[in-house]
Amino acid sequence: MKKLNQIIIAIFCCCMSTLSFSQHVCSAAFLGNKMIVDKYTDKGYKNQLPISASGLLTVNTVDLSPTASKAIDKIPFKVAIKDKATQTLTMFASENFLQVDVKKVLDKCKKGDKIVLMTTEKQYALPHNEILVQ
């Protein structure tokens, strides 16, 4: 039941972003084949990675259902790092990515920083774009 509630809230968030941003396609960050946002509560969502994480980081359009979250198509994105102490955003690299080795990004981070993902095309809504580095 808890997982069902989490998926329902995820669908609601994407639907609201679609309504708010006029016909945007919902997208989400994935590490490998697993959506990074994995917990929705009445206080918000859990969007974090351990500093030791590994794998390919992607942003994908998503198919959300009460039982699963499935990545559909990779979309181009940019990566920045938000410093915990100063809240300063610094570009990780100037190029657009379809996938990036998360280890290379995490090597530039310290615990408490946030990885910020930005879509490069207006048609995509990415409501959970900050990933806390633990």
Residues 106-125 pLDDT 10s: 999 999 999 999 999 999 99
Q: How many structural domains compose the chain?
A: 1
Q: Could you tell me the pLDDT band of residue 45, with boundaries at 50, 70 and 90?
A: low
Q: What secondary structure, in 3-state letters, does the chain show?
A: CHHHHHHHHHHHHHHHHHHHCCCCEEEEEEECCEECCCEEECCEEECEECCCCCCEEEEEEEEECCCCEEEEEECCEEEEEECCCCCCEEECCCCCECCEEHHHHHCCCCCCCEEEEEECCCCEECCCCEEEEC
In the prediction, which pLDDT does 37 show?
Answer: 86
d(CA 60, CA 45): 18
* Domain that includes residue 120, residue range: 2-133
Mean pLDDT of the chain: 84
In the prediction, which pLDDT does 89 show?
Answer: 97
As a whole-number percent, the residues of the chain with pLDDT over 90 amount to 62
**How far from the centroid of its chain's Cα atoms is residue 61's Cα?**
11
More confident residue, 35 or 68: 35
Contacts of 69 (CB under 8 A, 6+ apart): 7, 10, 28, 35, 62, 63
pTM of the model: 0.80
Residue 38 has pLDDT above 90, yes or no: no
